[in-house]
Amino acid sequence: MNMVTGFGRRHPRSVIIIRVLVTAWLFGLTGILLAYGYWGWAVLTLAGAVANIVLAYRVWRGTKRQPGRAG
């Protein structure tokens, strides 16, 4: 049972907004970590921000599909 997928299908706009907010937080945290010299953690949070962007795009792309088109 995958509740996250069900929520994304019923409320795609909410999922996108949450992912954008998390991405903004991760970018800010990356900047703070870089300022204090924590390069390893900064790379990790940057990777998380990029992953959130990709997942938000996939949710957005799923809402833009035209009926009758595959993929």
Structure token pair of residue 30: 């990356």
Full pLDDT tens readout for the chain, 71 residues: 444 555 556 677 888 889 899 999 999 999 999 999 999 999 999 999 999 999 888 888 877 765 655 55
- pLDDT at position 2, please? 45
Q: How far apart are CA 46 and CA 50, in angstroms?
A: 6
Indicate the angle between helix axes 3-10 and 12-35, nearest 10 degrees.
110
- pLDDT at position 11, please? 73
DSSP 68: T
Amino acid at 59: V
Structural domain spans, the chain: 12-63
Q: How far apart are CA 55 and CA 8, in angstroms?
A: 11
